[in-house]
A and B are shown apart, each in its own frame.
Chain A
Amino acid sequence: MATIDVPEQVSVLADAEALRKACKGWGTDEKAIISVLGHRNAVQRKQIRLAYEDLYQEDLIKRLESELSGDFEKAVYRWILDPADRDAVLANVAIKKLSPDHHVIVEISCTRSPEELLAVRRAYQARYKHSLEEDVAAHTKGDTRKLLVALVSAFRFDGEEIDTRVANSEAKILHETVKDKEFNHEEIIRILSTRSKMQLMATFNRYRDDHGTTITKNLEGDSGDEFLKTLRPTIRCLNDPKKYFEKVLRNSIRRVGTDEDALTRVIVTRAEKDLKDVKELYYKRNSVPLDQAVAKDTTGDYKALLLTLLGKED
């Protein structure tokens, strides 16, 4: 369930005016920006951008980029974009890093629905004049490349049908691969990147039933080669995305010095999806509400925006 709090009646014209007022003159009224944008869903945010452009012949996003700075600016920028466009930007940032953030590519390709992933691929082409898969391929090597390209290229069947025979045989293959550390990369890539999500759930369940432990438990640890480091988040995202997001949040806050990129990314991309469930998981795991943990670890306008997106009352 979503966490953002959107009012019943919204006037995008009034919103555009309010944002203009917040940006005009000396300094910026960040609180006003948060109080408008932090309470609007994707469709409304898009309409506000159009209304703003109409009224003031200016791109709202560019205006905000020039007025704001730091983590707050990054968060607002990501929040205001269309979800598909946002994912395209996140993917590109992840790819272009000197040491690419494979887990972000995995996260985007494995937690979005098949149609959403297609929209990301289109948005990516529109923005960067390259296909997502070609950029991923050009910046990665070896089996990691094969896995990532396959994941971003997937257009999974989105039906409920599952084949128990296949679940059985593929659970076996996964077990041999994971337990014996003998990585038959071709097979594991094939299974994880082509099967439907429902089919994979059946396979993971079969794995758990056959071996008394979940596949993610068998993959525990942080070490291993690059392929393994990309494989883990892949299986986690496909097996239980909410649990995966809880872990990313937990790690981003716990670190000495918060990992703002990860924190922003998860909150911004899940606020309209399942952040509520992730919050519950967080509380169960850490005995501290997520709002509290975020408030303790962040400051200023950045903190205020995150808390608004988390559904905290003003």
Chain B
Amino acid sequence: MANPCEVEVLNNALSGIGVDEKSLVSILTKSQNEHKKSMRKGCSKFFLEDERQFERWNDSAIKSLKAEFKLFKDVVVLSLMHPWERDARLLKKALKKGLPHYNVIVEIACTRSSDQLLGARKAYHSLFDRSTEEDLASHVKGSERKLLVALVSAYRYEGPKVKEDAAKSEAKALLNAIKNNNGDHKKKAMEEDEVIWILTTRSKPHLKVVYEQYKKISAKTITEDLEVELLLKETVECLCTPQTYFTRVFDTALREDAKEDAKKALTRLVATQEDVDLKGIAAKFEDKIKERVKGAYKDVLLGVLADDRQ
């Protein structure tokens, strides 16, 4: 008979984020058929009583179990890859998967430095015999196309110099574009040329000033006013308040009901964190990580976010 403790261990090992490989190994290697049978009977979340009298794996449980095992593999592969290749592959994958995954394209285009983004475009040439913008332009339909192609093509100035006057007038232009469209439901702010050129060509320091100026002339921040246009909202967030964006990725992934994509987003972020400063954020989530993450994946997260990393 299976020990109730073992059943609990099995349940725990397979819940949360990542997989507790050690516990699993110790259970499996010590179990015989009858033993395993009673364990299966004890884990009703993972095994269903089939009408033909056997304990059947719950299909969705298999899928999510495989996804949890894969998290560690993904973080290893991504971390070892050259950042250019990694970003090029992430871009291609997001493009293939379609609209719900376009936020990955926004994330990469907006959180990398100008030269890193350029590198990703070069790697894209090597890997796929096409340019990134060419693929995006021919596969993305609708209003998202203009935004995404322009974001990926940017080579932003990275100096600190900002023209206050221009930032002020551009904040105003953005406010007009957003407010007007709240009235006219047919056109999205993402379709406004003013919005596109400001967000996709201006430097990040400049856009941060635009963000501040916007707060002065509107009751809310740009991101608050863009609640309904997710892709555009994320664009502004990644460009102007990246720390907010990263915090949200961590928070969403470490929730009880976190979905696969949320966990993948965390993996992606952690694997790319040499380009982006995550230490401050990670410290806030250290306890949650220790509580909800398992096994080798947890070790990677904690190790990679430790202060004494070289």
Contact = CB atoms under 8 A, between A and B. Distances in A.
Contacts of A150: 149-150, 153
A145 interface: yes
A130 B130 CA distance: 28
Contacts of A225: none
Interface in A153-176: 153-159, 161, 166
B129 A154 contact: no
B150 A196 contact: no
A46 interface: no
Interface string A101-140: 0000000000000000010011001000111111001100
B305 interface: no
A131 B155 contact: yes
Contacts of B146: 146, 186
Contacts of A146: 146, 193
A142 B125 contact: no
A137 B196 CA distance: 10
B221 interface: no
Band of interface residues on A: 20 to 34
Contact of A130 (B121, B157, B193): B157
Given A131-B203, A190-B138, A154 B153 contact: yes
B137 interface: yes
B125 A159 contact: yes
Contacts of B154: 131, 133, 153
Band of interface residues on B: 20 to 34
B197 A149 contact: yes
Given A145-B193, A159-B125, A161-B129, A195 B161 contact: no
A134 B203 contact: yes
Scoring B118, B137, B149, B159 by chain A CB atoms within 10 A of each residue's CB, the highest score goes to: B137
Interface in B138-196: 138, 145-146, 149-150, 153-159, 161, 166, 193
B201 interface: yes
A197 B137 CA distance: 16
A149 B155 CA distance: 11
A177 interface: no
Interface string B36-51: 0000000000000000
Contact of A125 (B149, B157, B166, B202): B157
A194 interface: yes
Nearest to A157: B131
B129 A145 contact: no
Contacts of B201: 131, 133-134, 137, 149
A131 B157 contact: yes
Contacts of A158: 125
A153 B161 contact: no
A153 B131 CA distance: 12
B74 interface: no
A153 B129 contact: no
A153 B150 contact: yes
Interface string B10-42: 000000000000000000000000000000000
Contacts of A194: 131, 133-134, 137-138, 149
Interface of B: 118, 121-122, 125, 129-134, 137-138, 145-146, 149-150, 153-159, 161, 166, 193, 197, 200-203
Interface of A: 118, 121-122, 125, 129-134, 137-138, 142, 145-146, 149-150, 153-159, 161, 166, 186, 190, 193-196
7 contacts: A125-B158, A129-B157, A154-B153, A155-B153, A159-B129, A166-B138, A190-B137
Q: Give me the 9 closest cross-chain CB pairs, A-B, nearest first.
A: A153-B153, A134-B201, A194-B134, A137-B197, A157-B131, A190-B137, A131-B157, A133-B201, A194-B133
Given A121-B155, A129-B161, 5 more contacts: A122-B155, A129-B159, A153-B150, A186-B146, A193-B133
